[in-house]
Amino acid sequence: MSRILTGVQSTGRPHMGNILGAIIPAIELANNPANDSFLFIADLHSLTQIKNPKQLKENTLQVAATWLACGLDPEKTTFYRQSDVPQCTELSWYLNCFFPYQRLKLAHSFKDKSDRLEDVNSGLFAYPMLMASDILLYDADFVPVGKDQLQHLEMTRDVASRINHKYGEVFIIPEAKLQKDAQLIPGTDGEKMSKSRENTIDLFEDEKLIKKTINKNVITDNSPLEAPKDPNNSTVYHLYNLIASSEKSSNMAENLKAGGYGWGHAKKELIEELVKSFASQREKFNHYINHPQEVEDVLQKGALKAKKVANATLNRVRESLGYNS
């Protein structure tokens, strides 16, 4: 059985791009009986950007509620909050002591964030080693990553290999499960959906707010109602195609090509599909938000499971380094 690990930062309420691009694929992997999945909320990573404790706690609740609402079964997976397993911070220190400073300087994520953030802290710089700790602590075989995270996984493999070379087989060397076929989730402006671009769609809002977001923010060209339109160059169509059935998507594409079908018609269909397709998840999300103790109980139960694996790994590392008698 392969162990697969993935996580998401608690930097805010997940949007449509997070849900379709990361959370649902991770849940599908977790539901595969051939996989032993560890899924966690990376709230320690979030501290590099969020210093408000109330906001951090609220964000964590919203992220956990999203995973549960989208179908995560905590009985089949190890679902936990990163900060509830402090063993990861101890391991990250050991890893930092074996990884070259010059290699950390080359991290793409640090370069990108240090250019645009006011709070450029040491945590941002050491981020790859905490991420490596998250992976190595649980003996993960595979880590689902996008191309933008591949460098971090290579750093994880590098530091694990350095320690293994010096002390023997201390760590399992994880492999990337590169999501080559992962679709780009476009935002309302047609670019990749991202909070930083302010182009997100919140699937858990009520129908009125979803309608406002789509009608006001999703870009279209100035083609008149009667003109044929190219669905391949339409953000409305791309969003619809992500959630609608193949039959519905084909019908919209044909309508756009034929003319006599305006962007208002297409947006109306998109709104209806967004409201209908995620009705169950929206209801469950609101339930968990209104019953936070249920979420807390799930996370604490997951943390107990995670700690058993973490303690075994950490004891192995301590003994290798000479810290256990």
The CATH number of the domain holding residue 254 is: 1.10.240.10
193 found inside a domain: no
Closest CA to 206 of 267, 263, 268, 271: 271
CATH no. for residue 147?
Answer: 3.40.50.620
Assess whether 160 and 257 both reside in one domain.
Answer: no
Assess whether 256 and 107 both reside in one domain.
Answer: no
Assess whether 158 and 224 both reside in one domain.
Answer: no
Assess whether 40 and 147 both reside in one domain.
Answer: yes
Helix (H) / strand (E) containing 298:
helix 292-321
Assess whether 171 and 314 both reside in one domain.
Answer: yes
**Which residues have CB under 8 Å from 147's CB, separation 6+?**
178
87 found inside a domain: yes
Structural domain of 216? 205-277
Selecting among 76, 195, 248, 305, the annotated active-site residue is: 195
Residues 31, 318: Cα–Cα separation, whole Å: 34
Assess whether 226 and 295 both reside in one domain.
Answer: no
Q: What are the CA-CA distances from residue 156 to residues 93, 216, 262 (Å)?
A: 13, 43, 50
DSSP H stretches of helix in 149-262:
150-167, 207-217, 235-243, 246-258
Assess whether 231 and 262 both reside in one domain.
Answer: yes
Assess whether 251 and 170 both reside in one domain.
Answer: no
Assess whether 266 and 152 both reside in one domain.
Answer: no
284 found inside a domain: no
Assess whether 168 and 122 both reside in one domain.
Answer: yes
Triad 138, 142, 146: Cα angle to 5°: 120
12 found inside a domain: yes
Selecting among 192, 268, 301, 305, the annotated active-site residue is: 192
Q: What is the pLDDT at residue 182?
A: 55
282 found inside a domain: no
116 found inside a domain: yes
Q: Which residue has the tokens 């700690």?
A: 307
CB atoms within 10 A of CB 269: 18
DSSP secondary structure of 96-120 = HTTS-HHHHHT-HHHHHHHHH-S--
197 found inside a domain: no
Instruction: Walk along the chain (325 residues) and give the pLDDT tens digit of each residue.
Output: 889 998 887 878 899 998 998 888 888 888 888 899 999 999 998 888 888 999 999 999 999 999 999 999 999 999 999 999 999 999 999 999 999 998 888 887 766 666 666 777 787 788 899 999 999 999 999 998 877 778 889 999 999 999 999 999 999 999 998 765 556 799 999 999 998 899 999 999 999 999 999 999 999 999 999 999 999 999 999 999 999 999 999 999 999 999 999 999 999 999 999 999 999 999 999 999 999 999 999 999 999 999 999 999 999 999 999 997 4
192 is catalytic: yes
158 found inside a domain: yes
CB 44 within 8 A of CB 82: yes
308 is catalytic: no
Residues 63, 7: Cα–Cα separation, whole Å: 10
pTM of the model: 0.88
Query: Domain total for the chain?
Result: 2
301 is catalytic: no
Q: What is the pLDDT at residue 164?
A: 98
Assess whether 49 and 171 both reside in one domain.
Answer: yes
Assess whether 233 and 116 both reside in one domain.
Answer: no
CB 79 within 8 A of CB 119: no
